[in-house]
Structure 1
Amino acid sequence: MGDLTDDPARDPVGAAARRRPDSPALIAGDTVLTWADLDERVDRAARRLAAGTAPGDRVAILLGNTVEFAAAYFGALRAGRVAVPLNPGYTADEVTFALADSGAARVVAEEAVLGRLRLGEDVAVPSHALAEGGPELAAGGPAAADLAVLLYTSGTSGRPKGAMLTHRALEANHEQLQRIDPPVVGADDVVLLAIPFFHAYGLNTGLGAVAHHGACGVLVDRFEAAATLGLIRQHAVTTVIGVPSMYAAWSREESPDFGTVRTAVCGAAPLDSADSARFTAVTGRSIMIGYGLTEAAPVLTTTAVSDREKVGSIGRPLPGVSLLLRSADGGVLWRDGAVSEALADDVEIDFSDVDGTDPGEIVVRGDNLFSGYWPDGRDGPDADGWWGTGDIAYADAGGDLVLVDRIGELILVNGFNVYPAEIERVLDGHPGVAEAAVIAVPDPQTGQAPYAYVVPALDPPPTPAELQVHCAAHLARFKLPTGIELVGELPHSAIGKVRKGDLR
């Protein structure tokens, strides 16, 4: 345990409060907190969460984009506990799994949520109780290599996995982004924080960046296009951290005013080119694209280091991030903006579909990478620090990366990970279902959405409406299929695997 004052990365709020005590930190409705105000709230929360727990204990946080979330999150980090942000919209089954898997010693939420979870008094912490404080914190603080955050992300097994991010990984991503010229976020920026904080993008690229720079964040707990445009005007927002559905919604508003905005960033899911063009036409602002994953804290590439006006690209690796494209047989197709030695040696490559390299898996290395999945660090970076993302991309003729597809079956709903296996597991649990298969379909509001094909096991079969009710009892709203189609059989390969390509 080191001294927090020696390394502001491990206590960004405290560092910001020392540098800019009277500058605005967070705006939530009519509430404006300075960095000194927020530092005091974080201190009380840290003491409350430390009472009766030990360094490294997990603290689950089920709150929206509120001041209380910020106090709980930064308080847990200051106390040397591990923050576990969870979606407040999760069903009881999903929350119960995450709490049991993480072994959470404390759960911070609104009283109504805590009541539904039926937790013991020693575990449940109502959000208003964070202000009560507690005994003084022990001397010292967490080390840079200590685990800071456990972020649950859907896995191919159908159950979420906890990505382990250290204090060093969180800070490394800020330092990497800070090396971009001009920077994406600076101390004088006012940042719209509308991405949920239980998502790595909203948590670290949004809230974490505001604290790192001592900037000002405008909290948005529920996104509405017209309301957020009002906040942008009212608070002279200069930086917007968004996802595709937000930009699509803004572009359809009458005369959206982005006059004060100097930087508009889009991540978490691919941005439709038509939505991008419409947004630029009505606002006069281009959108900077970023690509990343929860496991990378989260940003890996951005058009900010290549061509900020380019549409369809995810840009190039951040300074400090090494990236290569790997073929299915393990060969290196491209490395950090240069065609690999293998290509230079006249290896035959098919360029018929792309103007650059062949598509390959994105493999990365950097200090921002996670330490593997909870609890034992499995499936993390290899001995040399490299980690395969499971995403497929190619490098175009200009050296910019273009995202093609996912190796797995991941569905991106408003940037949130949804794996078909999880939905299929729920559907298969219904007594009237013999077999189910879920694929991604385009959705104008969310980018993608799950769509299910079900083979009934009963006669008469369950209705699609009945199956939707069954799913709603076990899955968060954003994971629900937009349609359920009853079919006589599913197409299978010779080894019995469902041929989802035929369904598409």
Structure 2
Amino acid sequence: MSSSRPAPAHLADLVSRNATERPGHDAVRDLSGAAPLTLSWAALDAAVSAEAARLRAAGVRPGDRVAIGLPDGAAYCVAVFGALRADAIAVPFGTGSVTRELEIVFEQAAPVVVVAAAGDRVAAGCAQGCGARLLPPPDPAAPAPDAPATGGPADPERVALIVFTSGTTGRPRGVQLTHRALLANRAQAAELRPAPVNGVDRVLLALPLYHVYGFAAGLLQVCWMGATVVLPGPFDPERLLATVVEERVSVIAAVPSLFRSLLDLRDAPAEGPDRLRSAMGGVRLCTSGGAPLPSSWLADFRGATGLELHEGYGLSEGGPVITTNDLGRPAKPGSVGRPLPGIELRLVDAAGRPLSEPEPEPEPDELELEVGSEPDDDTGLIALRGPNLFSGYWPDGSGGPDADGWFTTADVGYLDADGDLFLVDRSSDLVIVNGFNVYPREIEQVVAELDAVAEVAVVGVPDDRTGEAVKAVVVAVPGAGLTVEQVDEHCAARLARFKRPTVVAFADELPRTPTGKIARRTLARM
């Protein structure tokens, strides 16, 4: 998007603007079906208008919530932008959601319409339970309606998206992202040099669009520049690598585990050692986010492809991209880089006081207790300020930035001498599986529903494929005869796949600190 043009105030304007300026250019390449589907920007714009008209005919009014649970593909893109063009609030959810989780989301969001795939019984049942109307996926080939929908002037402070994430209590809460926040984050990212997406890029998004990283940092950034998004369908490393070549992919945005899977293809006996390097020859940029990137993976990927893996840091409340490694130089191992232009970042203590501020002078009788600084003195909670921040949690906007615009996260980090951010912990107990947040308390509550469980604690453990995996340590009721299979079966019916414990261990008692808290580091080693 040219810097000479005024920034749009509404997300759906991105589609209509591209349809006007480059109508025949590919907008979406959907490879998820039996045959590839291509939508130009003009075709996407027409289908989006048709979907907005369909939603309004179904009773959707400005400010209403439209829940969308579809596989990644052209229909998903049409559904989300159609809801936005109808001035509704889009509420994305995963197609693999289980009833318990989706009921909580629908109870809070109170959607008027649920757009879901045919045969999705969980979505259909939850829609019926909350009184929402169920609609099938939109038609990506639908023509524009004869009478285009008209609305009032665009309000950038209108909520565009509610992203439900599990809070520290384990109960999902909705992050309210306005048109202003999401567009500001796209503008911030576009100021990077080299730009993460330019107008001639073909961007492979091998990550879920219902996740804020895939939708906002991926799809919306493509829309910001009028580029082309390539949606590869179900994940298969061999197929993905072929797609990179056949679709002339120039940018790949993914979670670390995807790049790890590509690295595994190096060892295929029938292929030469330069297979990856050759296949990735047309790729100019690879960005990794959603989960920590092990330094060894970065080095291995560079050696196998000649490309850097650029890691960043983000969160739903930030729209979501906060920092990134310098895209024009080799990535710094272990670092998530510096804030995007227009984002302020500082480290604060538990009381919210910036670490850069001098501590209050101690009382005279306390001076003798001064023993020098500790290595962790420069580690603090990450606090943020910028136009990309969310507007609090649904429905009342609580928990948002303070009166001065600062939002203190639960993430802990430190800054090196260059001003680059290093994450120490994404929160005290958070487990990140393939870029998805898993809060132990939620899993513990589910496992504890079993009568045979006396006590349970959940922790994250390293996993070569997903970054981290969920481990549950269970203290069973004596004589109950609880088995791993029973725990697995119980969790499978109540938790999304990425939240389910992949390791279940039994113990006579849980390890605790002297103050009675669960010793989670010890737990991980059990």
TM-score > 0.5 by shorter chain? yes
Identical aligned pairs, as a percentage? 41
Could you tell me which residue of structure 1 aligns to residue 241 of structure 2? 229
Partner of 1:433: 453
Query: 1:132: Cα distance to partner?
Result: 9.0
- Larger deviation: 141-150 or 456-465? 456-465
Contact 1:79/1:141 (8 A) holds in 2: no
Residue pair 1:305, 1:318 contacting (<8 A) in 2 also? no
1:77 and 2:84 correspond: yes
**Contact 1:360–1:393 (CA under 8 A) maintained in structure 2:** yes
Residue 68 (str. 1) matches residue 78 (str. 2): no
Q: CA deviation at 1:305?
A: 6.6
Deviation at 1:351, TM superposition (A): 7.1
Cα shift at 1:496? 4.5
Who is 1:23 aligned against?
A: 25
Structure 2 vs 1, CA of residues 56 and 210 (structure 1 numbering), >3 Å: closer, same or farther?
A: same
Number of corresponding residues: 491
1:86 matched residue in structure 2: 93
- Which residue does 2:38 correspond to in 1? 32
SS in 2 for 1:252: helix
Deviations 1:398-424 (A, max 9, x none): 221111113331100011000000100
Q: Which structure 2 residues correspond to residues 242-321 of structure 1 after superposition, within 5 A?
A: 242-254=254-266, 255-256=275-276, 257-304=279-326, 307-321=329-343
**8 Å CA contact 1:411, 1:450 repeated in 2:** yes
Cα distance per residue 1:110-160 (max 9 Å; x no partner): 110157633449610110468598775233354100000000111111111
Query: Equivalent of 2:392, from 354, 372, 381?
Result: 372
CA distance in 2, matches of 1:109, 1:492: 45
Tell me the equivalent position of 1:337.
none
d(CA) in 1 for partners of 2:371, 2:23: 58
Residues 398-407 or 410-419, more deviating: 398-407
8 Å Cα contact 1:349-1:358 kept in structure 2 = no
Q: What is the CA distance between 1:482 and its match in structure 2? A: 1.0
Counterpart-to-counterpart distance in 2, 1:184 and 1:129: 30
Structure 1 unaligned segments of length 5 or more: list them.
Answer: 334-339
Secondary structure at the aligned position of 2:252 is classed as: strand
Task: Report the Cα offset of residue 237 of structure 1.
Answer: 0.7
- Whether 1:48 and 2:50 are equivalent positions in the alignment is no
Which amino acid in structure 2 is aligned with residue 247 of structure 1?
F
Structure 2 counterpart SS, 1:278: helix
How many Å apart are 1:341 and its aligned residue? 5.2
Confirm or deny: 8 A CA contact 2:429 2:440 kept in the other structure: yes
Q: Give the distance between the partners of 1:353 and 1:495, measured in 2 at CA.
A: 23
> Would the aligned equivalents of 1:109 and 1:125 in 2 still touch at CA under 8 Å?
yes
CA contact (8 A) 2:454 2:475 kept: yes
In structure 1, what is the Cα distance between the partners aligned to 2:391 and 2:97?
25
Describe the shift of the 1:116–1:239 C-alpha distance in structure 2 as closer, same or farther (beyond 3 A): closer
Does the residue aligned with 1:65 lie in a helix, a strand or coil? coil
CA contact (8 A) 2:9 2:180 kept: no
In the alignment, which of 151, 173, 190 is matched to residue 139 of structure 1?
151
Question: Is contact 1:114–1:124 with CA below 8 Å preserved after alignment?
Answer: no
TM-superposition CA deviations, 1:372-405 (whole Å, max 9, x none):
1111111111111101111111111222111111
Among 463, 477, 493, the alignment partner of 1:457 is 477
- Cα distance in 2 between the residues matched to 1:221 and 1:185: 21
8 A contact 1:373–1:379 mirrored in 2: yes
The gaps in structure 2 that reach 5 residues or longer are 1-5, 267-274, 362-366
What do the CA deviations read for 1:140-193 (whole angstroms, capped 9, x no partner)? 354100000000111111111110000001100010011112211111111001
Please report how far the alpha carbon of residue 489 of structure 1 lies from its aligned counterpart in structure 2 after TM superposition. 1.5
**Of the candidates 120, 136, 151, which is equivalent to residue 126 of structure 1?**
136
AA paired with 1:215?
A: A
Structure 1 pair 413–115 and aligned structure 2 pair: CA distance change class (3 A): closer
Inter-CA distance 84–285: structure 2 relative to 1 (3 Å threshold): same
1:98 and 2:100 are equivalent in the alignment: no
| Residue-by-residue CA offset, 1:344-386 (whole Å, 9 max, x unaligned) | x9x99977747xx711111000111111111111111111110
